[in-house]
Chain A
Amino acid sequence: MANDTRVAAHQIAGKDGQAAPDQPWIFRTYAGHSSAKASNELYRANLSKGQTGLSIAFDLATQCGYDSDDRIARPEVGKVGVPINSLDDFHVLFEGIPLEQMNTSMTINGTAMWLLALYVALARERGVDTKKLTGTTQNDLIKEYLARGTYIFPPEHSLRIIAEMYEFCLHEMPDWNASNICSYHLQEAGATPVQELSFALVNAIGLLDLLKERGRFNADEFDRAVGRISFFVNAGIRFIEEMCKMRAFSELWDEITRERYGVQNPKYRRFRYGVQVNSLGLTEAQPENNAWRILIEALGVTLSRNARCRALQLPAWNEALSLPRPWDQQWSLRLQQILAYETDLLEYPDLFDGNPAIESKVAGLKRDAMQEVQRILELGGVRAAIESGYMKSALVRSMSQRMRAINNGERVVVGMNKWTEGLPSPLVAGADGGLFKIEARDVAETLASLERTRKQRDEGRARAALERLQKAARSGESMMEPSIECALARVTTGEWAKALRGVFGEYRPATGIDGQKLGLENDRVDRLRRRIDGLIGKLGHRPRLLVGKPGLDGHSNGAEVIAVSARHVGFDVIYSGIRLSAEEIVSAAVEENVDLIGASVLSGSHLELAEQIMNGLREHGVADRIRVVFGGIIPAGDMAALKQIGVRKVFTPADYSLIDIMESVVAVIEEGIR
Chain B
Amino acid sequence: MSTASPIDHALIDRAQAGDKAALSQLVSLFEDQREAAIAQRAEVLAQLSARPKRQPARMIGFTGTPGSGKSSLLACIALELLRTQPELTFAILAIDPSSHVSGGSLLGDRTRMRVPPSERRVFIRSQASATELGGLGPWSFQVCRLLSHCVDCVFVETVGIGQSEADIRHLADRVYLVLQPLAGDEVQFLKAGIMEIPSAFVLNKCDDPSAERSYHHLRGSLGLARPWDADSIPIYRCSARSGAGIAELTQGVMHDIAQHGGAELVSKEPYFFERWVRDEWGRVGTRVLDAALGGASAYLERSHGFEAAQATFGGHVREQLQSQDPTRSQHTR
Minimum CB distance partner of A571 in chain B: B104
Taking CB atoms and an 8 Å cut-off, the chain A residues in 518-533 that contact chain B are 529, 532-533
Which residues of chain B come closer than 8 Å to A592, judged between CB atoms?
A: 24, 110, 125-126
A253 to B223 alpha-carbon distance, docked (Å): 54
A513 at the interface (CB under 8 A from B): yes
Residue B111 at the A interface, CB < 8 A? yes
Residue contact A566 to B104, C-beta cutoff 8 Å: yes
Residues of B within 8 A of A577 (CB): 108, 110-111
A76 CB to closest chain B CB, in angstroms? Answer: 18
Contacts of B99 in A (CB 8 A): 567-568
A620 at the interface (CB under 8 A from B): yes
- Contact of B20 (CB < 8 Å), options: A511, A532, A537, A587: A587
Q: Are A154 and B241 interface neighbours, CB within 8 A?
A: yes
**Contact bitstring A529-542, B, C-beta under 8 A = 1, else 0:** 10011001100111
- Chain A residues with Cβ below 8 Å from B103 are 529, 532-533, 542, 570
**What's the least CB distance linking A528 to chain B, in Å?**
9
Given contacts A567-B105, A570-B103, A620-B21, A575 and B128 within 8 Å (CB-CB): no
Which residues of the other chain, A, contact B37 by a CB distance below 8 angstroms?
Answer: 540
CA–CA, A284 and B40, complex, Å: 50
Task: Select the stretch in A37-45, A177-185, A578-586 that faces chain B.
Answer: A578-586
Cβ of B117 and Cβ of A587 under 8 Å apart?
yes
Interface size class of B (residues with CB under 8 A): 35 or more
Which residue on chain B has the smallest CB distance to residue A673? B2
Is B102 positioned at the interface, with any CB of A under 8 Å from its CB? Answer: yes
Instruction: List residues of B (82-135) whose CB comes within 8 Å of A's CBs.
Output: 98-99, 102-108, 110-112, 114, 117-118, 123-126, 128
- Asked if B33 is an interface residue, CB under 8 A from chain A, the answer is yes
Given contacts A536-B33, A567-B104, A567-B105, contact A576 B110 (CB under 8 A): yes
Complex contact B117–A574 (CB within 8 A): no
| Complex contact B106–A591 (CB within 8 A) | no
- Bound together, the chains give a CA A568 to CA B128 distance in angstroms of 14
Count of interface residues, chain A, beta-carbon cutoff 8 Å: 40
Q: Are the C-beta atoms of A584 and B32 separated by less than 8 Å?
A: no
Task: Pick the contact of A586: B29, B111, B112, B117 (CB < 8 A).
Answer: B117
Report the minimal beta-carbon distance from B226 to chain A, rounded to whole angstroms.
32
State whether the Cβ of B28 lies closer than 8 Å to any Cβ in chain A.
yes
Chain B residue numbers with a CB within 8 Å of A569 are 102, 104
Q: Mark A588-603, 1 if CB is under 8 A from B, else 0.
A: 1011110000000000
In Å, the complex CA distance between A468 and B88 comes to 37
Q: Is the CB of A508 within 8 A of B112?
A: yes
Which residue of chain B is the closest to A583 with respect to CB atoms? B117
**Assembled-state Cα–Cα distance A542/B138 (Å):** 13
Q: What does the 1/0 interface line of A554-568 toward B look like (CB < 8 Å)?
A: 000000000110111
Tell me if A542 and B128 are in contact (CB < 8 A): yes
Residues in chain A within 8 A of chain B (CB atoms): 154, 505, 508, 511, 513, 529, 532-533, 536-537, 540-542, 563-564, 566-577, 581, 583-584, 586-588, 590-593, 620-622
Q: What are 16 A-B contacts with C-beta separation under 8 Å?
A: A508-B111, A508-B112, A532-B104, A541-B33, A542-B128, A563-B106, A567-B106, A572-B104, A573-B106, A574-B107, A574-B110, A575-B106, A577-B108, A590-B20, A592-B125, A593-B27
